[in-house]
Every structure is written in structure tokens, then in C-alpha cells.
Amino acid sequence: MQKKNERGSVEERVTRRAKRNQIRNVILLSAYVAVGASMIVMMPNAVRLLKHVEKIVGPSPRLKRRVNQKYSELISQGIFRRINIPGGSRIELTEKGMKIAEELSQYEDVRPIQQKKWDQKWRIIMFDVWERRRNVRDELRQTLKEFGFIKIQDSAWAYPYPCEKLLVFLRTHLKLGRGILYVVADEIEHDEQLRLHFKLHLQH
């Protein structure tokens, strides 16, 4: 029983950490889009932003406070800065924040789109990255994990929907060349758990 509780607490921490990252990403992307529209000011209690965050992470009575806390954290990291103006203050992206938001925006542009009906084919991304490029390998694994891929071997990750745009971006952005391969497979042996994970068993 104790092990189960410990595992549950770990899962809860992982879930909370993922939600914090989602809030961070929504704030950064919203600010990045606003800057592109010449709207530099981003107030942490903006109704539109809160609704967008709620759509991503789900409703919470403490959502406004969590967004405000995330703004404070991003300010302390030098990603945002607070500027005093007559009658109050405004928050805007720093140069460091712009670079991070721009890169995040590029990743979002190539995020695989879940289709209404699965075409019964598996997409597999395989890679072979040298040990001296460990940082690149770690970033690649983290990206695939965040985008919903499931690891089926040490350097092979599976996904049920087309993701060729992501492959091209990763190959270029991480300078992987032929070190990363894209496979479209009709079948993966013993894929029952994969089908359950992606809820493909619910499709007819």
C-alpha cells in the first residue's frame, strides 16, 4: 500500500510539473503573438489569457494565482520584465524571452495533428546521435515525449499520425542529417498497449 501511495504522489508531481510547463508555454506564446501584433503589454490577469490557459490545463479555482506566480517566476528568470508606468505597470518580453518564445512557436507550428480517423499506420522516428552530442539527444527525446510519442526502443519512438513536418524541423534545427529517420509502418508487433495509450481501440 505504501508503494502505491508513493507512486501516486510521484505521478501527481509529474502531472503538476507538466501543467506548470503548459501554463508557461501558453503565456510565452500569447506574449509572442501579441508582440507580433504590436501589443507588447501582457497583464497577468487578462481574461482572454486566463480562458486560454483554462482550455489547456483545465479549470481550477486557483488558476489566476498560478498564472500570476508563473509571471513572477518568468520575470525572475529574465524572460519578462516589469516596467513601471503612470498609474501602474506593464509586463513585456525581454530579448531573452523573445528568443525562447520564437523557438517555442516554431515547435508549435510543426506539432503533429491528431486526425479524426486513424489510417492504421504507425509513424516511427529513429535516431542515432553520438555520445558527444548528448545534449542534442536529450533535447530530441524530450521533444518527442512532450509531443506525445511513445518510446518502443532506446532510439525508436512511435506515433499514430503523420508527423513529417516535425521530422524535417528536428533534422534541421538539431542538425541531425541522416542521424534521424522517419518510418511509416503498417504494423508494429504487439502494439496492443500502444493502441490503448492513443485510444485507437475506440475508433472503428
Cα separation, 123 vs 149, in Å, equals: 9
Q: Which domains, and CATH codes, for the chain?
A: 2-109 (1.10.10.10), 122-202 (3.30.70.240)
Per-residue 3-state assignment (H helix, E strand, C coil) for the chain: CHHHHHHHHHHHHHHHHHHHHHHHHHHHHHHHHHHHCCCCCCCCCCHHHHHHHHHHHCCCCCHHHHHHHHHHHHHHCCCEEEEEECCEEEEEECHHHHHHHHHHHHHHHCCCCCCCCCCCCEEEEEECCCHHHHHHHHHHHHHHHHCCCEEEECCEEEECCCCHHHHHHHHHHCCCHHHEEEEEECCCCCCHHHHHHCCHHHCC
Is residue 54 within 8 Å of 30, Cβ to Cβ?
A: no
pTM (2 d.p.) = 0.62
- The pLDDT tens digits along the chain (204 residues) read 444 444 455 556 655 666 677 778 888 877 776 655 333 444 444 566 767 677 666 677 777 888 888 888 999 999 988 888 888 777 888 889 888 888 888 888 888 988 889 999 999 999 999 889 999 999 899 889 888 999 999 899 999 999 999 999 999 889 999 899 999 999 999 999 999 999 897 665
The residues with which 150 forms a beta bridge, in sequence order, are 158
Phi and psi for 41 in degrees, rounded to 5?
Answer: -75, 130
Beta bridge partners of 185: 122
pLDDT digits (tens, 9 = 90+) for 106-165: 888 888 988 889 999 999 999 999 889 999 999 899 889 888 999 999 899 999 999 999
List, in order, residues 6 or more apart from 74 with CB less than 8 Å away: 24, 27, 28, 80, 97
CB 182 within 8 Å of CB 135: no
